[in-house]
Amino acid sequence: MIFRLGEFHAFSGGGRRFLYTVPSAGIFELDDTSAAVLAILTQKDATEQELLAVADAETIGELYQSRIITTAEGFVSEPQPLPENFPLQTMVMNLTNQCNLSCQYCYEFGEDKVATPEGKPKFMDFETACASVDYLFTQSAGRHGVHITFFGGETLMNFPLLKKVVDYAKQKAADQGRSIDFSLTTNATLLTPAIIEYLSANEIGVTVSMDGDKASHDKFRVFSNGKGSYDIIEPRVRALIKEHKTRPIVARVTMTSQAMDVLGTYRHLKNDLGFHEIGFAPVTTSPNRLYSIDNRGLDSVLDQFGVLASEYLAHALRGEHHGFSNVSDTLAELHQGVNKSHPCGAGLGLVGVGPSGDIAPCHRFVDSDSHTLGHVSTGIDKAKQNDFLSRGHIQVKTDCSTCFARPLCAGGCHHEAYVRYGDTGHPNLHYCDWIRGWTNTCLEIYGAIAAQNPDFLRHFSERKAAA
């Protein structure tokens, strides 16, 4: 029998050697015997007898079973059929498609928008909201817990409906002996003491869209008159963080070519304002926009991410929380052995629902006629859902077939793909080098934690992987 190397990515952490096995998304520490086997196969294909000169049969068998090594014929991977029924877990409920800000880069209202809201309700009504909740519970059969994320537009512009939905959904869950939790995303301009008290009392998680200090935030997050929103939200954010006691408050930062001070932004949001966690994402846009980040800009972002990642590791080795959620989210997926068929749960365990009740794959496609999958009153059109999911499956993305990061990336965001390439199933090729670099960084951090403070990894056992 002839053996050769399988598909894996080698990395080190904490002075130890590890392998990330791509087909299984497993992480293995490499001992000297296994390393000797790989050293032989790095030079040439080898017979079992040649490998037995440096390792016993059990070690060779374990390496084969883990697909770290393979035979000359390789492994045959049968295409995975799409599940006929996949229970919902999360609904992103767009309470309104209206917003009191006019952010230039906004995917919903900006230059690259896909939404076609003309002639549709601007605010969801209670009847549609109840039908949406009913749909979530009906389509989540088999799951004990479900989740609703309230979204917009600006979510708090329809706050009275949010309160009614919370009451209705809680009662629905109680009647069925199930659980439900809630979160929302907001620009924070409409927060009041009463709203903050309600959100805390009902344990509603809050993500604030905020791009850093005044100079960074006010570049794009402006009102219709062009005035920046930082001075309005800063005291409200401080009050939210101080008074909301039941859930950690997190910030979501949109990076643009004119706001790429990752380190300064993190320090301001974490140290000055007191957010529990901060996550960063490059703006979703066509490459010809002035605020689009080019390759040199992405390199700068990755370098700054690396600095924060090193800080994260130092905190983890002391058993302390850091707050850079880009690391936490990736480590959680690595720890759980996530191996994605699709970039996220869009159209599978997650859907977005617009004010009209139209169902979209996720909140980024809400109110887009060309991406509607159905309606909460009639359900999802299976043909449309299957078309969306089939095109987004990692097995049809040939550009991804040799990339070690594909178990975590699966080709990248459907919406980003549509904006860039006009196809929700197209791999996000403009981010490939960046994703590989960042995945390697997180693997090294994982390895170092596993080697030097493995107890810290238990934090990721229950952390929900990003969907």
pLDDT tens digit string along 346-399? Answer: 999 999 999 999 999 999 999 999 999 999 999 999 999 999 999 999 999 999
CA distance 56 to 51: 8
Give the per-residue pLDDT at 466.
33
CA distance 364 to 106: 10
Give the per-residue pLDDT at 385.
95
The arrangement of strands across the sheet holding 179-186 comes to: 277-282, 249-255, 205-209, 179-186, 145-151, 90-94, 350-353, 358-360, 374-375, 379-380
pLDDT tens string 297-325:
999 999 999 999 999 999 999 999 999 99
pLDDT tens string 38-52:
999 999 999 999 999
CA distance 158 to 165: 11
Share of the chain above pLDDT 70, in %: 98
HSE toward the beta carbon, residue 424, CA cutoff 13 A: 25
Q: Which of 41-50, 134-143, 282-291, 404-413 has the lowest mean pLDDT?
A: 282-291
Report the Cα–Cα distance between both ends of the chain, in Å, rounded: 42
pLDDT tens string 51-104:
999 999 999 999 999 999 999 787 766 666 777 788 999 999 999 999 999 998
CA distance 426 to 395: 12
CA distance 418 to 412: 11
pLDDT above 50: residue 425: yes
pLDDT tens string 149-159:
999 999 999 99
Per-residue pLDDT band at 465 (split at 50, 70, 90): very low
3-state secondary structure of 2: strand
pLDDT tens string 229-252:
999 999 999 999 999 999 999 999
Give the per-residue pLDDT at 74.
79
pLDDT above 80: residue 111: no
Give the mean pLDDT of 328-332: 97
With beta carbons less than 8 A apart as the criterion, state whether 22 and 64 touch: no
Q: What DSSP designation does 454 have? A: G
Give the per-residue pLDDT at 463.
58
The reported pTM is 0.95
Give the per-residue pLDDT at 108.
82
Per-residue pLDDT band at 196 (split at 50, 70, 90): very high
Give the mean pLDDT of 260-275: 97
pLDDT above 50: residue 420: yes
Give the mean pLDDT of 189-212: 98
- In terms of Cα–Cα distance, which of 69, 73, 66, 74 is closest to 54? 69
Give the mean pLDDT of 122-146: 97
Give the per-residue pLDDT at 112.
81
In our burial notation (b when 16+ CB lie closer than 10 A, e otherwise), range 150-174 reads bbbbbbbbbbebbeebbebbbebbe
